[in-house]
């Protein structure tokens, strides 16, 4: 069945170019009314102009869709709240939020200024928090919401020179894990998208032949699946070059050591055993770790 968004209202942040632009265009092409949000700043987050967002709005309207532009900075909660209020005033609801806005300030950790660390966390993590907070009660009231956090392989698996970016991106996974639980009763489904795409952020990092495979539009089908009416929730979807994978935060069965005097030495000695992934699980919540641990202890001591 074709995925459609007729009657749905979507907000896409960082939608003036790259992935965000493709997401906005695709949502609009499938019937959504779209708020194209973009501060219009440079790659490192400086400056700002509404031209980028308006250009995408013009594209959507020229194709027969409905869209409005927003130049709100995702780091400014008052501006984000005003954007959401204006959206509800114009179209009555907010069904989809795509947290895509981001910046880069790459350097090895030893050379990185703390201000550059804080700003990247502020934009990626707190920007997503601000936007999600502004739409959360709207979605709860209408008993419907689809939210996507844009995470990254740099957060999931690490990448040299991106301690700030990676920390912020992995934090979004933690945010998603809890919000998907809290939003379940109001049909608010929250997922993460980890894209590999040729954008302003990657154009200087990869050879041209690879960049040609990594078109942003090859990621967007994954985004559409994550915000569809029958979307999953609590998924980490990886996407790039037309391929799609699923990442998981897992828990091994581990070993019981107890509290002998040499407990530390036993942990060290059994590290391979406790790392065995044969029967690992994907916990339904954070309680699973404690349940597993106390269960092993009770069996061992009982």
The residues near 9 (Cβ < 8 Å, ≥ 6 apart) are 32, 33, 34, 35, 87, 91, 92, 93, 94, 95, 96
Q: Is 149 helix (H, G, I), strand (E, B) or coil?
A: strand
Coil, strand or helix at 1:
coil
> 144 catalytic, yes or no?
no
Q: How far apart are CA 153 and CA 140, in angstroms?
A: 31
Tell me, what DSSP letter sits at residue 251?
A: B
Q: Which of 84, 165, 189, 237 is catalytic?
A: 165
Query: Dihedral through CA 42, CA 154, CA 26, CA 125, nearest 10?
Result: -70
Stated as kind and residue range, the H or E segment containing 246 is strand 243-247
Using left for φ > 0, alpha for ψ between -120 and 50, and beta otherwise, residue 52 falls in: alpha
Element containing residue 165 per DSSP (H, E): helix 163-183
Question: Cβ-count burial of 140 within 10 angstroms (0-12 exposed, 13-18 middle, 19+ buried)?
Answer: middle
Query: Which residues are marked as active site?
Result: 165
């Amino acid at each position: 069945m074709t995925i459609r968004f007729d009657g749905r209202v979507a907000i896409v942040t960082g939608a003036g170019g790259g992935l965000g632009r493709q997401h906005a265009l695709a949502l609009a092409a499938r019937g959504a009314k779209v708020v194209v949000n973009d501060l219009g700043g440079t790659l490192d987050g400086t400056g700002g102009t509404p031209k980028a967002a308006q250009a995408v709005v013009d594209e959507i309207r020229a194709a027969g869709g409905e869209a409005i532009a927003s130049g709100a900075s995702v780091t400014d909660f008052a501006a984000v709240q005003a954007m959401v209020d204006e959206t509800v005033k114009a179209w009555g609801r907010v069904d989809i939020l795509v947290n895509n806005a981001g910046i880069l300030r790459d350097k090895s950790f030893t050379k990185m200024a703390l201000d550059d660390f804080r700003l990247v966390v502020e934009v990626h993590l707190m920007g997503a928090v601000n936007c999600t907070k502004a739409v959360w009660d709207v979605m709860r009231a209408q008993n419907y919401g689809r939210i996507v956090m844009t995470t990254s392989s740099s957060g999931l698996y690490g990448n040299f020179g991106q301690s700030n970016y990676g920390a912020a991106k992995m934090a979004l996974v933690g945010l998603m894990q809890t919000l998907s639980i809290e939003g379940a009763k109001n049909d608010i489904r929250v997922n993460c998208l980890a894209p590999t795409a040729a954008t302003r952020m990657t154009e200087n990092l990869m050879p041209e032949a690879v960049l040609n495979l990594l078109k942003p539009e090859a990621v967007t089908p994954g985004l559409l699946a994550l915000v569809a009416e029958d979307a999953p929730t609590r998924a980490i979807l990886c996407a790039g070059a037309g391929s799609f994978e699923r990442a998981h935060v897992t828990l091994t069965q581990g070993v019981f050591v107890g509290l002998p005097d040499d407990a530390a030495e036993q942990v060290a000695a059994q590290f391979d055993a406790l790392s065995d992934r044969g029967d690992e699980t994907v916990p339904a919540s954070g309680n699973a770790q404690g349940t597993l641990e106390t269960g092993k202890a009770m069996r061992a001591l009982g």
